[in-house]
Chain A
Amino acid sequence: MTLLDPLQGLVADLRRSGIAVPASAVEDATRGVLALHDLGRAELRSTLRCTLAKDRGAQRMFELFYEIWFATGQLPADSDLRRSGGDGGGGGDDVSDSELASAVRDAIRSGDREALGRLARLVAVRWGGINASSRGSGALQSHHVIRHLGLDQLHRLDDDDPSAEPLDDDTRRRRVRSLDRFRLAVEEQVRELLVAVRGPADVSAAQRLQRVEDREVLQATRAELDELEAVVARLSRTLAVRMRRRRSRRDGRLDVRATLRRSLATGGVPIEPGFSRRRPRKPELVVVCDVSGSVANFARFTLLLAHALGAEFRQVRSFVFVDGVDEVTKRFRPGSDVRHAVRDVLATADTVRVDGHSDYGRVFNELHREIGSAVNHRTTVLVLGDARNNYHPTGEAAFAALAVRAHRVWWLNPEPRAYWNTGDSVIERYAPFCDELVECRTVRQLARFVDRL
């Protein structure tokens, strides 16, 4: 059957990207295809998607690979270009480069989806530079198109219009969304053209995909970071349930009153014994996050998780620092939206005392002064940072003093282990005082770690 090869290719690619596609799913997919009434593209896609991709992340990757393996395989005909001209309905060939570019900018400003789709096709053909010798997965060619249009810098959009008023947050956000949509459309079109020219196997082999939870946070794009927020929110709920269950275990002591009360329902015969629950002992958590440079992104998720799990701890105190410490616990009041609070914190916390370069020594000294007495045997201290100290004094004594008082000290380092203790990283000076020192580069690792709290 001619569908079998692309299907096998698609399944192989999904598996390579870390999505489990068991044999039963492939069987279901085949049976589904056989039961199809008409092999329209949309029906085929739906059928394959609902049998092979069983969660949202998988579905997104499925879309990508489906485009590659089940592409229409047609290069754009000249008539195609002529038909899908600019807004005025004129021929694509007649539209000049600058007119096309300004049409794109207008479409992004207005958010007109249909126009964006049409224009994506045109620009991909015109500036993608795709021919038989093109290599790669299409990322390079798409980037080339975007650079050519000057869209990689958003403020360029507004530079053209000096009389425009400054944008408010929501308009800006809408523009960014339009821009992202356009980028995706261009990538899609470039990929389609590449597949037509080089065949699906080549293009998919060049595609390196990962689930967003496995992406290195320090290298993630803005869109991936936003997606990760949703992932963290979901993870926190799963973790909260697991932590709660672990804590409320049965004690083994018979609760006579509860048993007798239950026995009333069965005529005085005690059938269901009632046990007294062990009172849960919740730890106190102190989170200390480095928010300098790229580590700030990781701090975002750690704070999100810590506060989303707030109910599982007796108390959560959070601190952020660069070369000075700022306590931000108050911003996470129970009613407030955690995501906004975190963004607020990262934007406005008062963490720069001297020159904005990390100074762990200063920070630990300050911390010890402020909360040293509040740290006790119930406290868990969680430090997030890369320990890059810019050759300042390390303040180990203060850190050691805190570690001795606390129940446990855990340190999460978002740098790859190979880079520890190179350059100005002084993690080895703090390591002896930590109960655990782990490398934590992806959200999945973060979640696994929090699970052990």
Chain B
Amino acid sequence: MAERTPFFASPDDVASRLRDATYLADADLVQVTWLADRLGKPVLLEGPAGTGKTELAKAVARAAGAKLIRLQCYEGLDESKALYEWNYRKQLLRIQVGVEGWADAEHDLFSSEFLLERPLLQALRADEPVVLLIDEIDRVEVEVEALLLEALSDFQVSIPELGTVSATRIPFVVLTSNDSRELTEALRRRCLYAWVDYPEAAREREIILARVPGVSEGLVTQVVDVVHRLRGLDLQKAPSISESIDWALTLVTLGVTDLRRDDLLGTLGVLLKHRGDLQRATKELAGP
């Protein structure tokens, strides 16, 4: 049976080590991370795009000195890309070369040499501490969710020719979803759940100050003001924290120290990526 050795000693430990890894988490997220660590359960992070869900997994890996294994999900992802696949081409070549009997050949052909390990299997088999990031699971089909569930419940996988592969240590698993479809009940049951939303003004200021070197406090305040105003508008895609960081970085690179209307309107494209949104924002911000 696989065991979980926790990365962190206490919620405060989580918060401070994440901060050292330049990820400022709010109290709720810290608590969920700590619980997941202690209980050995996966974490399901759901929320609008760009709010730091993927970043959390990376930060935990940095903070704990663990290896980050990433499975990027997309529509059409299947077992062979998620779990494992036999390297058919190599096997065919091997058959054409060898002259021994079938029994020896079979033993040879279905060995680890010809097994292509995909992220899930890699995570299960790893000897070192691992953070497994399953990114954008809402883009994947329901059948694949079932497959993942199986792997995430018992942390073992059966490969018909090789036998059952069990994990020696339970990885820290993070699943992210951009809330584009409803995930199955079974998956939710398996995980701890957290909704990651746009940050409050004070926290957003802290995050930008930590992430963007060389930015002045005055500029950060102006940036956060504008971003929060934009979020109050009825936009198709409101700017999230990753866009705020990009924008601050852009402004610093352009040498802007005090945000004027021209700078603002000129760089709005970093924040808003839809034409309708740009028009509305320009109308609102260029006003009085």
Partners in one complex: yes
Partner of A170, one of B32, B141, B232: B232
Given the complex, which residues of B lie within 8 Å of A59, measured CB to CB? 193, 195
B35 and A170 form a contact (CB under 8 A) = no
Beyond contacts A50-B32, A265-B88: 17 other A-B pairs, Cβ-Cβ < 8 A, are A20-B185, A32-B35, A32-B39, A47-B35, A54-B44, A55-B182, A55-B193, A170-B232, A173-B234, A177-B232, A234-B182, A237-B180, A238-B182, A269-B92, A339-B236, A340-B234, A340-B276
B39 and A55 form a contact (CB under 8 A) = no
Contact A25:B189 (CB < 8 A) given known A170-B233, A173-B232, A266-B88: yes
Report how far A85 CA is from B28 CA in the complex, Å.
Answer: 30
What per-residue 1/0 map shows which CB atoms of B227-269 lie under 8 Å from chain A?
0000011101000000000000000000000000000000000
Report how far A59 CA is from B188 CA in the complex, Å.
Answer: 13
Q: Which of A325-359 contact B (CB under 8 A)?
A: 335-337, 339-340
A46 and B31 form a contact (CB under 8 A) = yes
The answer to the question of A88 belonging to the interface, with a C-beta cut-off of 8 Å to chain B, is: no
Interface size class of B (residues with CB under 8 A): 35 or more
Partner of A46, one of B28, B38, B181, B274: B28
A238 and B236 form a contact (CB under 8 A) = no
The answer to the question of A279 belonging to the interface, with a C-beta cut-off of 8 Å to chain B, is: no
The answer to the question of B77 belonging to the interface, with a C-beta cut-off of 8 Å to chain A, is: no
A43 and B192 form a contact (CB under 8 A) = no
A241 and B181 form a contact (CB under 8 A) = yes
The answer to the question of B58 belonging to the interface, with a C-beta cut-off of 8 Å to chain A, is: no
Query: Measuring CB to CB, which residues of chain B are less than 8 angstroms from any residue of chain A?
Result: 10-11, 27-28, 31-32, 35, 38-39, 41, 44, 46, 75, 88-89, 92-93, 96, 141, 179-182, 185, 188-189, 191-195, 232-234, 236, 274-276, 284
Given the complex, which residues of B lie within 8 Å of A156, measured CB to CB? none
By secondary structure, the A interface counts as: helix
Report how far A59 CA is from B192 CA in the complex, Å.
Answer: 12
The answer to the question of A56 belonging to the interface, with a C-beta cut-off of 8 Å to chain B, is: yes
Shortest CB-to-CB span from B56 to chain A, Å, is 14
A272 to chain B: closest residue by CB: B88
Shortest CB-to-CB span from B133 to chain A, Å, is 18
A231 to chain B: closest residue by CB: B182
| Interchain pairs with CB closer than 8 A, number | 93
A46 and B27 form a contact (CB under 8 A) = yes
Q: Which of A370-416 contact B (CB under 8 A)?
A: none
Shortest CB-to-CB span from B169 to chain A, Å, is 19
Given the complex, which residues of B lie within 8 Å of A170, measured CB to CB? 232-233, 284
B37 to chain A: closest residue by CB: A35
Given the complex, which residues of B lie within 8 Å of A237, measured CB to CB? 180-181
B38 and A43 form a contact (CB under 8 A) = no
Report how far A116 CA is from B192 CA in the complex, Å.
Answer: 33
B88 and A22 form a contact (CB under 8 A) = no
Given the complex, which residues of A lie within 8 Å of B32, measured CB to CB? 46, 50
Contact A54:B193 (CB < 8 A) given known A237-B181, A336-B276: yes
The answer to the question of A223 belonging to the interface, with a C-beta cut-off of 8 Å to chain B, is: no
B10 and A51 form a contact (CB under 8 A) = no
B276 and A337 form a contact (CB under 8 A) = yes
Report how far A54 CA is from B183 CA in the complex, Å.
Answer: 10
B89 and A266 form a contact (CB under 8 A) = yes
Report how far A174 CA is from B274 CA in the complex, Å.
Answer: 22
Contact A35:B189 (CB < 8 A) given known A265-B89, A267-B89: no
A43 to chain B: closest residue by CB: B31
A54 and B189 form a contact (CB under 8 A) = yes
Q: Can you pick out 8 interface pairs between chain A and chain B where the beta carbons lie within 8 Å of each other?
A: A25-B189, A43-B11, A55-B46, A173-B234, A238-B181, A245-B141, A266-B88, A267-B89
Report how far A173 CA is from B229 CA in the complex, Å.
Answer: 12
B88 to chain A: closest residue by CB: A266
Report how far A335 CA is from B44 CA in the complex, Å.
Answer: 32
Report how far A47 CA is from B234 CA in the complex, Å.
Answer: 33
What per-residue 1/0 map shows which CB atoms of A254-281 lie under 8 Å from chain B?
0000000000011101010000000000
Shortest CB-to-CB span from B30 to chain A, Å, is 8
Given the complex, which residues of A lie within 8 Å of B188, measured CB to CB? 54-55
Of A22, A50, A266, most B-chain CB atoms within 10 Å: A50
Partner of A234, one of B35, B75, B93, B180: B180
List the 7 shortest-distance A-B pairs measured between CB atoms, nearest first.
Answer: A46-B31, A54-B188, A238-B181, A50-B192, A54-B193, A50-B32, A46-B28
A51 and B181 form a contact (CB under 8 A) = no
Report how far A53 CA is from B11 CA in the complex, Å.
Answer: 21
B181 and A234 form a contact (CB under 8 A) = yes
Q: Which of A165-192 contact B (CB under 8 A)?
A: 170, 173-174, 177
A35 and B38 form a contact (CB under 8 A) = yes
Given the complex, which residues of A lie within 8 Å of B233, measured CB to CB? 170
What per-residue 1/0 map shows which CB atoms of A34-63 lie under 8 Å from chain B?
010100001100110111011110010000
A267 and B92 form a contact (CB under 8 A) = yes
